[in-house]
Structure 1
């Protein structure tokens, strides 16, 4: 493959991810354009990408057709989703996109995405296959008041920790029930929270598993994290991945509690903090380039342990012509 171009959908603020793909291509001495696609002209990642492509909003009826046009015009080899609202639509249209282009879509099977995108589906699935997850209360249990506080409430299809709350009493519960649409009510978990970056090849073979302790978060996304090669977490997540069988970069959230490992959610896409694991040595971007070149990868733990990452905001300036101003 002489050129491997990557289209990052809903690129938004994913500057680090764009740069990780660029660095991986440079390291491997690959000719590559990282194309950032977004519906907004002011998405910061556009100004760091090699090329850009204007996309419609996800709910527009021509969204998939425009992705196909982008793939053909930009000679795209890989389409990378970054936000939850893309996932079911892309999974549903994966074969169609791949038939009409030379690109692979980095999305798991529709059934996998369906399990992960609906948190009630996730809850039931994990319970059925015997993995730890906090108790979820039924509508009847909520109505009859057979609850034990503290609880945790969240929307069944939410993301970025929007409308998620700790519930200390019945008064809190009544307030938050009015706020959260289609809520899930669970036992409140206490312990150390981890995000786990998992990379699997296109046949769902596990290549790397990197646990990250969530030291601090902002708006649901990790702002400070520490790489910890926790054997218990790695073994447990390995068992889950072998049953679930997703592909690509997967972001798993869990907690180590007094009861053991309990799962929060599984996101079948690059999480916002994924560059932490990539920079530690578990380079999912390099892995993807190697897979696209036909290489076979083996499981490894060739990443640095006990690294702490501190994320921060930065800004760029664009002029009246929507061009980057360099200071």
Structure 2
């Protein structure tokens, strides 16, 4: 049986690795959660995993062959990707892994393309009746405005422009920037919503996480909120062809009139997913039930409302010989 799991590009995702370890061992006591990284010695999540394997960068032509070889030699039955840059190539090579009974938990390449290019994401939201920030003509701007790259991640190259002199030539001439309406955080609350899609491409869980404080682009303090967003998203995104596993949607929500503004979609486990896990939305368990035990799962909203997560700095210590 291929009951081991590998989490790729693990880096600092210690909590995610431990959550998969706890869940997997509850079902298969002898099974292991492996990881990969370009530098395992410096990857905290790699150190806490059952073993971390060295892989080349995802842009290297040998990346897929190396990953497949690791899976075959270590009885890996499931691959969990964690970074945006590997999603497309893993999606394009799903069939290679499928031939050996290895499930790559990544949505199809069409959906990945929608998520990776923010211009396509805008159309997706509009097609699903979800408002997006209004586009602004950078040559005839209305202030304040917001600019971000259409293929960005990790909160890089984001600009809040409040007056004309801040709209510098470098920003104006940046080839990848999209210019849009600024969503005032005094009026709107910022949310990331964890959604789990089953093998049938239907949503099984929707957990809005209110982002109270952000650090390095990830939630540092936040609450789960069983609010208007659950029904709003279930109605519009109940079935998404080709979508499987965990995706997370970033949006703004104004409670006074239930205005929802879609921002972006990450078709993978987000950095803040551990909050949903501790609120009893156990997506690793759902994956094991579906892909290792071949059991169908149903939609559930039994997770805990108003669960608070407060993150803090901790350490992984290695005593080298």
2-structure distance, mates of 1:176, 1:48: 43
Would the aligned equivalents of 2:129 and 2:236 in 1 still touch at CA under 8 Å?
no
1:167 pairs with 2:161: yes
Structure 2 counterparts to residues 1-327 of structure 1, below 5 A: 2=1, 4-41=3-40, 42-99=42-99, 101-137=100-136, 141-143=137-139, 145=140, 147-174=141-168, 177=171, 182-190=176-184, 191-230=188-227, 232-242=228-238, 244-245=240-241, 246-257=243-254, 260-292=259-291, 293-321=293-321
Shift of 1:13: 0.4
1-structure distance, mates of 2:134, 2:213: 25
Residue 198 to residue 310, structure 1, CA distance change in 2 (3 Å): same
Shift of 1:66: 0.7
Would the aligned equivalents of 1:88 and 1:113 in 2 still touch at CA under 8 Å?
yes
2-structure distance, mates of 1:128, 1:306: 31
Shift of 1:157: 0.9
Shift of 1:318: 2.8
1-structure distance, mates of 2:193, 2:251: 8
Paired residues, number = 313
Would the aligned equivalents of 2:3 and 2:28 in 1 still touch at CA under 8 Å?
no
Shift of 1:26: 2.9
Q: Deviations over 1:107-150 (max 9, x none)?
A: 1011111001100110122223422111123xxx223x1x2211
Q: Deviations over 1:274-304 (max 9, x none)?
A: 0110111000011111112111111111211
Would the aligned equivalents of 2:202 and 2:239 in 1 still touch at CA under 8 Å?
no
Q: Secondary structure at the match of 2:46?
A: helix
Would the aligned equivalents of 1:153 and 1:166 in 2 still touch at CA under 8 Å?
yes
2-structure distance, mates of 1:72, 1:34: 14
Would the aligned equivalents of 1:215 and 1:225 in 2 still touch at CA under 8 Å?
yes
2-structure distance, mates of 1:181, 1:315: 40
Shift of 1:179: 8.8
**Unaligned ranges ≥5, structure 1:** 322-327
Which is worse superposed, 80-89 or 257-266?
A: 257-266
Output the TM-score relative to the length of structure 1. Answer: 0.91
Q: Secondary structure at the match of 1:244?
A: coil
Q: Secondary structure at the match of 1:318?
A: coil
2-structure distance, mates of 1:103, 1:45: 22
Q: CA RMSD in A?
A: 1.7
Shift of 1:259: 7.1
